[in-house]
């Protein structure tokens, strides 16, 4: 461990999570906003579905830490995303399909476990996303087993589950559907797509009445009494609107399955 301790935020999901630092991704922007305030842990796995997540979730989030002296290392916030691969056509070669009813129950188990990590562990769920079917076909030569007709059903079921559990849930399908320039391959996010998702997450965090707050603008800055954080605040503000690191021009070189 590196001290002093900070709140921990875990991003857990499939490729939308694993790639969230590419192309000025939503994970990169979130990390910049929480600089010197919280630590971001990336647990993203390309190609995974909710069934695969259930094989490891107790290792990623060991609940026994709640019962010993290390309780403080439990996450303050988990952003949970599965559904895109679950909604894949079962007849597509090597499909990651999970039937809708099983997907809902898998997500229910994950949510219950995460919420039970500690009294102050918060959860934000992302539903299954929309896709750009035409762009997928152009990029891969087939539809990758994806369709908005099926994806929407998984998204609606995910939103309903979040509401049932009293957990903030972002309708990822609705946020992306029909919008130009949000995917680089029809499935994975460009900088513009990531900005849409980041803004949705930001809106949830800013409006939440969580105690202690996870609004980065209201959280203490580590070692604020040493030097000045003026330049940091300027960089955070600029990063929300500007592309850093890898740009979209490189995106066609990356084709995760």
Catalytic position from the list 86, 127, 185, 251: 185
Q: Are 222 and 37 in contact (CB under 8 A)?
A: yes
- Residue 181 has phi, psi (to 5 degrees) of 75, 15
Catalytic position from the list 14, 15, 76, 96: 14
End-to-end CA distance of the chain: 34
CA distance 223 to 246: 30
Known catalytic residue: 185? yes
Which residues, in sequence order, are bridge partners of residue 11?
Answer: 42, 79
CA distance 141 to 126: 28
Known catalytic residue: 188? yes
Q: Are 125 and 83 in contact (CB under 8 A)?
A: no
Catalytic position from the list 50, 87, 97, 188: 188
Where in the sequence numbering do the catalytic residues fall?
14, 185, 188
């Amino acid at each position: 461990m590196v001290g002093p301790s900070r709140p921990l935020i875990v991003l857990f999901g499939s490729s939308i999570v694993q790639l969230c630092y590419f192309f000025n991704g939503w994970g990169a922007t979130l990390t910049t906003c929480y600089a010197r305030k919280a630590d971001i842990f990336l647990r993203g796995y390309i190609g995974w579905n909710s069934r695969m997540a259930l094989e490891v979730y107790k290792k990623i989030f060991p609940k026994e830490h709640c019962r010993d002296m290390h309780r403080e290392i439990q996450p303050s916030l988990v952003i949970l995303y599965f559904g895109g691969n679950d909604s894949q056509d079962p007849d597509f070669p090597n499909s990651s399909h999970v039937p809708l009813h099983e997907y809902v129950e898998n997500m229910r188990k994950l949510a219950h476990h995460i919420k039970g990590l500690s009294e102050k562990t918060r959860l934000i769920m992302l539903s299954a996303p929309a896709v750009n079917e035409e762009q997928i076909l152009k990029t891969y030569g087939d539809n990758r087993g994806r369709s908005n007709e099926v994806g929407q059903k998984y998204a609606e079921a995910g939103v309903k589950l979040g509401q049932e559990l009293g957990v903030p849930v972002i309708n990822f399908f609705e946020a992306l559907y029909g919008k130009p320039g949000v995917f680089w391959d029809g499935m994975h996010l460009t900088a513009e797509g990531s900005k849409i998702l980041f803004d949705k997450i930001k809106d949830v965090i800013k409006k939440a009445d969580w105690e202690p707050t996870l609004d980065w603008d209201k959280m203490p800055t580590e070692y604020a009494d040493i030097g000045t954080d003026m330049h940091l605040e300027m960089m955070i503000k600029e990063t929300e609107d500007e592309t850093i690191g890898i740009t979209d021009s490189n995106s066609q070189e990356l084709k995760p399955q």
